[in-house]
Amino acid sequence: MEFEEFVKAAFVKMIYEVIEADGKIHPAELEILNKLKSVIGFDDAFLKRARLLEYDNALVTLYNLPHEQKKALANILDDVAISDGAIHKKEMDLIINTFINIGLGEETE
């Protein structure tokens, strides 16, 4: 799936938010992040810029996405959260709040 640069930035911001949610960056989370670089199409410099994006600004971008792209984000965030073998409560809370804030589940498919 192709994404515009500002959408990629919002995706990468949320991915990194999930990685950092439990206060520990697990090697398996970094491994999946590296795999996502080629899937989404970003590099380390882009990652650094995306991490500076304000959380609320990322949510606004994601809220305005088509349902298909929101579902793609949901799958990615779930994969990142379980990559270290366990979903921490803070990761789950962040993912659920993100889904609520971007209106995922409100659309009709």
> Mapping DSSP to helix (H, G, I), strand (E, B) and coil, where does residue 99 land?
helix
Report yes or no on 11 lying in a domain: yes
What pLDDT does residue 105 have?
77
DSSP state of 37: I
Cα–Cα distances in angstroms (integers) from residue 47 to residues 43, 51, 96, in the given order: 6, 6, 23
Positive/negative CA dihedral, 20, 93, 3, 85: positive
Give me the CATH number covering residue 13: 1.10.3680.10
What pLDDT does residue 16 have?
95
Q: Which residues, 6 or more positions from 68, have their beta carbon under 8 angstroms from its beta carbon?
A: 1
Residue 109 has pLDDT above 70, yes or no: no
What pLDDT does residue 11 have?
96
* Total number of domains constituting the chain: 1
Digit-coded pLDDT (tens) for 37-61: 999 999 999 999 999 999 999 999 9
What pLDDT does residue 106 have?
67
Q: Which domain holds residue 59?
A: 5-101
d(CA 102, CA 60): 7
Confidence class for position 99, pLDDT limits 50, 70, 90 = very high
